[in-house]
Structure 1
Amino acid sequence: MRTFTGVWRWRHNPLRRATDRREAWVALVAVLLLVVMAPALGWYCGSRTDHALQESVRAQQADRRLTTAVVVRRVADRHHVSDPEVSTDRMAQTTVVARWHAQDGTARSATVTTASHDTATGARVRIWTDLAGNPALRPMDAPTAHTHAALAGFGAGMLAVLLIEGGRRLIVWRMVQRRYARLDRAWAKAGPDWGRTGTGS
């Protein structure tokens, strides 16, 4: 609002310079871009990212299955946090060697991770596999996809804000530099005669 008021005030001010009017218009355009373009860009990027991530969620969920495996043995001193791409079940997971059967009945055995508290030999745990029965990461869930999309939209909006404000500052800086250059040229012309003509010196 102050920007609009500033532009209006400079219209009839007798001390107004052309550069003052241009700087006020640059500020007004920057404000309009900040109010309209930055949120619009953030929303657009967020919605497009969310659409792409939801497609990925559906593809991963269609390609992966929960399978019951039997623990053969624990892998000593190997604990880690679950996949950060998943918003739920972020408990510490344990690495074990387990065996299971693929959908076609083929026996499989591999080192996998599980969030189960019971990882003793012979315990049954749930693991994620792909359609071929190989170990796979847990698929991304919809809430995580929404969160990533929101962060992407926010980041795009903030980047737009920084670019707009940086552009405004650069334009104003260039205007000020040109103003100073004109003053320097004017002073170079008037400087040698300053204080001599009509001053009584």
Structure 2
Amino acid sequence: MARRAGVWLWRWRRNPLRRTSDVVEAWLLLVAWVLAVAGGVLAGVLTAGAMHQAAERVRAESHPVPAVVTQEATRGAVRPVGGALGWGTVRWTDANGSAHTGRTRVPVSATPGARVTVWTNGQGTLVPSPASPADIAFQTTLGGLWAGSTTVGVVIGGAKLARTRLDRRRFAQWDEEWARVDTPWGWKTG
């Protein structure tokens, strides 16, 4: 086990074959992994928190209001679990007694005069129904995972790009050294 750790940590030990680029690569990898883990977790948590706050704000600003269908819904729209929905015209009264009319999704089976529930914001404008707590949890979890994964990918991709540049530099140095070694021997290897 100690030998295996020595193989992994060879860039950190004193070694006549170790180059400056090897030390730079070791630090680059260490910093990249720390940034990837910490940055990924931080980005995921912050994104999920921001998404959750936004969804809860929308949920708090949306209010269910009873309305009356004034025009039949057009057919062929959405078919959710509860049945087909279409665009219909409804009339409702807001909290201060003002009457409003607007178009929203209503059941296709609703005829003029049928009572439905619509959602409005603080200004009395029709809005889509807010997401359920389960939907909010699902969306914020996916958003956090996406943000964290993206952060990790960007950091690791950047480290890989930096390592590629270090490798090119090392190959160029090796070519120069081989050219110096080959010339005194009187022959070229390539």
Amino acid at match of 1:25: A
Flag the 1:3–1:54 CA change in 2: closer, same or farther, 3 A: farther
Length-normalised TM-score, structure 2: 0.71
The answer to whether residue 98 in structure 2 is matched with residue 97 in structure 1 is: no
1:137 maps to what in 2? Answer: 128
Residue-by-residue CA offset, 1:89-118 (whole Å, 9 max, x unaligned): 79753211122222222222221113x463
Residue-by-residue CA offset, 1:6-62 (whole Å, 9 max, x unaligned): 234678898x721495387358516xx53x543433332333233333433343233
CA RMSD of aligned residues (A): 3.7
Alpha-carbon contact 1:100-1:109 (below 8 Å) kept: yes
Flag the 1:91–1:190 CA change in 2: closer, same or farther, 3 A: farther
Instruction: For residue 146 of structure 2, give the secondary structure of its aligned residue in structure 1.
Output: helix
The answer to whether residue 121 in structure 2 is matched with residue 123 in structure 1 is: no
Q: What's the CA shift for 1:127?
A: 0.8
Flag the 1:17–1:93 CA change in 2: closer, same or farther, 3 A: farther
1:50 maps to what in 2? Answer: 48
Amino acid at match of 1:38: A
2:17 maps to what in 1? Answer: 17
Flag the 1:193–1:37 CA change in 2: closer, same or farther, 3 A: closer
| Alpha-carbon separation, structure 1, partners of 2:111 and 2:59 | 29
Instruction: For residue 122 of structure 1, give the secondary structure of its aligned residue in structure 2.
Output: coil
Amino acid at match of 1:104: N
| Alpha-carbon separation, structure 2, partners of 1:48 and 1:91 | 37
Instruction: For residue 121 of structure 1, give the secondary structure of its aligned residue in structure 2.
Output: coil
1:153 maps to what in 2? Answer: 144
Structure 2 runs not aligned, ≥5 long: none
1:73 maps to what in 2? Answer: 71
2:62 to 61, 64, 81: 64
Count of residues in correspondence between the two structures:
185
| Alpha-carbon separation, structure 1, partners of 2:105 and 2:142 | 29
The answer to whether residue 98 in structure 2 is matched with residue 106 in structure 1 is: yes
Structure 1 runs not aligned, ≥5 long: 83-88, 197-201
